[in-house]
Amino acid sequence: MLAAVGAALTMVLAGCGDSGGSGSDDKGHDKGGSAQDEQRTEARAVLTAAAKKSAAQSSYKTVQTGQGGTDRSEMLYQKKPAASVIKAEVTKSSASPDGISHMLSMGGKTYVKSDKVPGKSWYSMDIGGGGTPRAAGYLAEFTGALAATKSTKWVAEEKVGGHPADHYRGKVVLDDLASYNGSALSKTLRDIYVESARKQGMSSVVIDVWVGKDDLVLKSRETGTGKKGREVINEEYSQFGSVPAIKAPPAGSVATWDEFIAGAARP
């Protein structure tokens, strides 16, 4: 699943955190916490609630990176009307001289930022569907899979972006997840997630999720070993319900695919 955004971009154009906790002992338990603190250690219950509340948000921002901060993508996700914006770091080329691919998707079309057509700043392609759901990141899959795993535990209270959050971790065995039928993860997302991980040669992954005190997911990390060795996906989430409305570019600024191809062929 690593570099999923990069893979999506390729198809169109051709899914560590804080260490240690505050106020915790060497076993990761809060020192002298209140009843509310004890409730936060009920990992699966908190994660199930967080998965539902976060997924219900009308919009949010996702920043996705790979191991060591590589493959950075900034994504805006909007539920209604379905739309997304993806700004991803890519290899510098004539099509992306600055090393940034900027795409906006909505209404079954993808608009790609480009200066190849004089007088136009975008070109469009029909992709079907209603936007690019991957801009939502893997929030639902990671949080739901962790909530579905019996070994999941509370680690510590930490800060994400200056906000206090509860850190949860578990080892997700894909064979076990494949038979999960609870409310934390839909069957559709479960099957897609398990199939994708298995195709990469993974049998299990370690997932970390940081949940804010308002039960919104602030950060997630998936670590696994597959055919390409160790892979990591980091995601941070923000601007829940407050992402500026995503709109299609003005019609006059959008070139057709044929116009883009012709422009790109010019010296």
CB atoms near residue 45 (< 10 Å) = 13
Burial group, residue 68, by CB count within 10 angstroms (0-12, 13-18, 19+):
exposed
Residue 91: the pLDDT is: 84
Q: Return the pLDDT at 34.
A: 56
**In this structure, are residues 114 and 122 in contact, taking their beta carbons and an 8 Å threshold?**
yes
Three-state SS for 174-211 is: HHHHCCCCCCCCCHHHHHHHHHHHHHCCCCEEEEEEEE
pLDDT band at 36 (very low <50, low <70, confident <90, very high): low
Going along 90-160, which residue ranges are E strands?
Answer: 100-106, 109-113, 122-126, 153-160
| Largest Cα span, the chain | 70
Beta strand 122-126 pairing with 254-255: parallel
pTM of the prediction? 0.82
Q: How far is Cα 91 from Cα 99, in angstroms, rounded to an integer?
A: 5
pLDDT at position 203: 97
The answer to whether residues 254 and 122 touch, using CB atoms and an 8 Å cutoff, is yes
186 burial via Cβ count (<10 Å: 0-12, 13-18, 19+): middle
**DSSP 3-state assignment of 111?**
strand
Asked if residues 144 and 177 have their Cβ atoms less than 8 Å apart, the reply is: no
Write the pLDDT tens digit of every residue in 69-123. 889 999 999 999 999 999 999 888 777 778 899 999 998 899 999 999 999 999 9
DSSP structure class, residue 182: S
Rg of the chain over CA atoms, in angstroms? 20
Our measurement of the distance from residue 127's CA atom to the centroid of its chain's CA atoms, rounded to an integer in Å, reads 21
